[in-house]
Structure 1
């Protein structure tokens, strides 16, 4: 099963909501403190061009692997969590770690929570990204259902701390309105280029592949390796 993407208009509304939210934490007076950059990001969210070249691809596996697999996934998508708990572990062990598959992970943003999770994961850097990735999926039920937005961000920060990030680094990453806007533009570019309509979605050597059991992925890879 897959989770269906929103329209471009829906994505824009969620992006605006995300910027508007980063209206926490509260100051000593109890009034909301808007994160620096959020207002500017909102105002420029509909700019004609956004330079997405600054967004780094998150990759596992040998650069010269004979097969390239791209996954499009959302941190709030339960089907994506199931894939990472099951088939992905076997794919990594038998194909990625053995140099047969180069794996590229690309985030999809259904909602502001997924965007915030992505910003935390990327804040950890490329060396720790996939470790945070695993934590976000394995604890998805906990942080997604934490309650109010401020509570969800609190849970995401806990995951960031587990990855070795301090509070200052986490605040800086979450306050980066330019980065949030660029990530959303990057996601929209990728989704359009690969005709991604839901998550998890996969592209293997340029061809769209549906979410499926490990045995089916394995058969597909073995067929390609035998060509």
Structure 2
């Protein structure tokens, strides 16, 4: 592999056509089909990107040679699970991506219940704001909530309010409303955090990391040395997590 592309990885695509699939209610998934990862931008929900199967098809991608980007920082508010967990799942996501919200609402709680409690899995969040400044501002807001120990609660509240289709408008008043909803104790400090250049820089650093591997579509998951693009059913994640956990 050329030196200037050492951190990129190639996806071997396996497309399983499931006629009448209930995945996303038949909306399809926003996925990346080209190699290296990131050849296509994500599709608008209900539309089909170049190289993407028709809506209603279940599409699964696994990757080989995935770079180890796990940070394993003790006390990281944007991570869940033991620092030394044998498997790390990194999620690159945009708060205004309906597929990311679907995963957060429907699949993430089940993964947490099954694999966090027994120490198998660590989950690390990465911001990949591909839908504009409102996405950046929401990512900053979640980090401001994280300053008060409520990153994941804030994350879940945004996802719970998201529509099934399209990219919601999220203004400053809504960001403050989510903070009130999850019980952020110091709202004045939270509002100061909304203008934090430190948080903005952290979001930018996540974005640059994603760009370094060619990621342009959300959600994207790196699980050990495998990758999954798109909001897949729980069983897809279970298979990869358990395969990774079984490795010596």
Q: TM-score range by the shorter chain?
A: 0.5 to 0.7
Distance 1:184 1:60 in 2: 18
Match of 1:223 in 2: 243
Match of 2:94 in 1: 74
Whether the aligned pair in 2 keeps the contact of 1:124 and 1:165 (CA below 8 Å) is no
Match of 2:193 in 1: 173
CA RMSD of the aligned region, Å? Answer: 2.7
Match of 1:109 in 2: 129
Match of 1:203 in 2: 222
Distance 1:169 1:3 in 2: 37
Distance 1:166 1:225, change over 3 A: closer
Structure 1: runs of 5 or more not aligned: 8-55
Measure how far apart 1:121 and its partner are. Answer: 1.2
- Structure 1 runs (4+) greater than 4 angstroms displaced: 3-7
Match of 1:43 in 2: none
Alignment length (residue pairs): 174
Measure how far apart 1:92 and its partner are. Answer: 0.7
Match of 2:176 in 1: 157
Distance 1:95 1:3, change over 3 A: same
Query: TM-score of the superposition, structure 2-length normalised?
Result: 0.62
Distance 1:179 1:6, change over 3 A: farther
Whether the aligned pair in 2 keeps the contact of 1:57 and 1:105 (CA below 8 Å) is no
Measure how far apart 1:2 and its partner are. Answer: 2.1
Query: TM-score of the superposition, structure 1-length normalised?
Result: 0.67
Matches within 5 A, 1:110-129: 110=130, 111-125=132-146, 127-129=149-151
Does 2:110 align with 1:90? yes
- Please point out which of 123, 140, 152 is paired with 1:130: 152
Measure how far apart 1:193 and its partner are. Answer: 3.1
Hey, which of these two has a bigger chunk of helix by percent? Answer: 1
Distance 1:198 1:65, change over 3 A: same
